[in-house]
Chains A and B, each alone.
Chain A
């Protein structure tokens, strides 16, 4: 596993080359995880070395698309970390209600589980009709699968449990149709979400938001890139807008810490000052 990238130069060269050729910027990703991911990619592609992988990736865009999966994809759950969604429902939604048409941004949405969880929550709070949810990611395949809103049916036992712990008001089964071994999420949920390509590493603000949910995304960035991404998020948020991070993430080590106050500390929900 670890024999990879003994040479830092090779490792850096790979990501410089990818940036130049494909404009995806992994140069300031937290290195330790990235190394593990490149190591798995070497095994998957049958490449003996990082330069061999680089050569293949540069020659063949399809290899690059496949490599992206190794470098970016996260698996999440519907209503992952129920206390987070419970806190949103109980503490944040009452404030969002006061906006005529709240905008919500799921930054780094991967295959869409978080965005759909929010859509369900907003539907139950009677807010979905007037809410616009943006869900962005850098991985085209993830975005496509997020847009499809189809998940393996066998994951729904856990999803349902999460949903109930998160304060769900009905039954999760109300929001999907089972087809063979898949569950297809309801069209009304999909309609409320705009899935789009956006990079926290290279793109900037595209709308003013009342809530940004960016969970377990920033942990993959090194500090300078975290600061850049948090800068974009901070700029996107309206005054008194909300930011939700992963349950083990904190703003404490960020240069943007002073722009926020803790709103629900245990759920890692912050409020823009």
Chain B
């Protein structure tokens, strides 16, 4: 772990609910397979509509996509999804933990739980992204990421199909970047110090 003032980005965490899948799809397409950091994602899904998500996203990105397992170390270039009905947390040893603790803001997995724990684990070397969503989960977590020195990104509410989640984040505290979804992927690629894929279409064609 580095103690310098602006450490290299070590991880990205993403949260969203209603309308976030489309946004996530566009973001992942803009990221190169050589992305040097892990991405951990909590999407609220309808109960009983489980794990098709990782297969769905795998088709859209050259990054490897999987459900995060308990005690699994975070590996660069990998997209980790929270499993339905479990909270996903990051330990300071930079491994995942799961929990079946009570839902937070009616949500399990909860974005706040992932964001809070990742902020503890990565401090300033973390980037948190909050996308479209229809409740306020994630707003406090994103604030904590900012408070720990991390970079915060929110999908511009007017571009989100459900603006409540991004709006709650903006109301909760200062956010570094408020962007339409097509600019979020390229920003993440820059923050991770890699060349962004030139265009989503190219990323698709390359496969």
Contacts and interface: CB of A to CB of B under 8 A. Distances in A.
A36 B67 CA distance: 23
Interface of A: 1-2, 30-33, 35-37, 74-75, 216, 218-220, 222-223, 226, 246, 248-250, 252-253
14 contacts: A1-B116, A2-B116, A2-B140, A2-B144, A32-B91, A32-B97, A35-B120, A36-B117, A37-B101, A75-B102, A226-B71, A248-B67, A248-B98, A249-B70
B101 to A, nearest CB: 6
A33 B97 contact: yes
A75 B98 CA distance: 15
Contacts of A218: 70
A248 B87 CA distance: 11
B99 interface: yes
A218 B97 CA distance: 10
A147 to B, nearest CB: 22
Residue of A33, A220, A222 most packed against chain B (CB within 10 A):
A33
B190 interface: no
A255 to B, nearest CB: 12
Contact of A219 (B100, B116, B120): B100
Contacts, number: 70
B180 to A, nearest CB: 30
A30 B91 contact: yes
Interface residues of B, number: 29
A219 B97 contact: yes
B95 to A, nearest CB: 8
Interface in B113-137: 113, 116-117, 119-121
A243 to B, nearest CB: 15
A1 B59 CA distance: 38
B117 A248 contact: no
B78 interface: no
Interface string B67-79: 1011110000000
